[in-house]
Structure 1
Amino acid sequence: MLVSDKVRSPCVSVCALDANDVCIGCHRSGDEIMRWTQMTNDERRDVLKKVAERERGSLL
């Protein structure tokens, strides 16, 4: 697999976990951040769906 084929990280270089262990920058959990490089593209897409939900929830 080419590097360009991998699902890219949502990291925005604002790295700080909140009280719920979720990054305030990319909205991934600490566990998701640690496992990102070992995940398949399908797993990464699942995380990105959760990230979108968390981001929407944080805007309310």
Structure 2
Amino acid sequence: MIETPCIKVCVIDPASRLCTGCWRTLDEIAAWASLPPETRRRIMAELPARKG
């Protein structure tokens, strides 16, 4: 199973272009399944700072 920050609340903020549920970009969401685990972990570590 692939780790994901998705909480099934998919709403893209037009100003930041981030999902307000998981704080990923559309490009990150689209590529998520094909990203290496290290890259997914790095992105997930960055997400709390994006909520700011």
Same fold (TM over 0.5): yes
The structure whose RCO (Cα within 8 Å, separation 6+) is larger is: 2
- What are the ranges of 5 or more consecutive residues in structure 2 without an aligned counterpart? none
Give the alignment's TM-score, normalised by structure 1.
Answer: 0.76
- Give the match for residue 49 of structure 2: 53
Number of matched pairs: 51
Q: CA deviation at 1:53?
A: 1.1
Give yes or no for the alignment of 1:32 onto 2:28: yes
| Percent of aligned pairs sharing the same letter | 33
* Larger Rg, first or second structure (1 or 2): 1
Give the alignment's TM-score, normalised by structure 2.
Answer: 0.86
Structure 1 residue runs of 4+, over 4 Å off? Answer: none
Q: Which has the larger helix fraction? A: 1
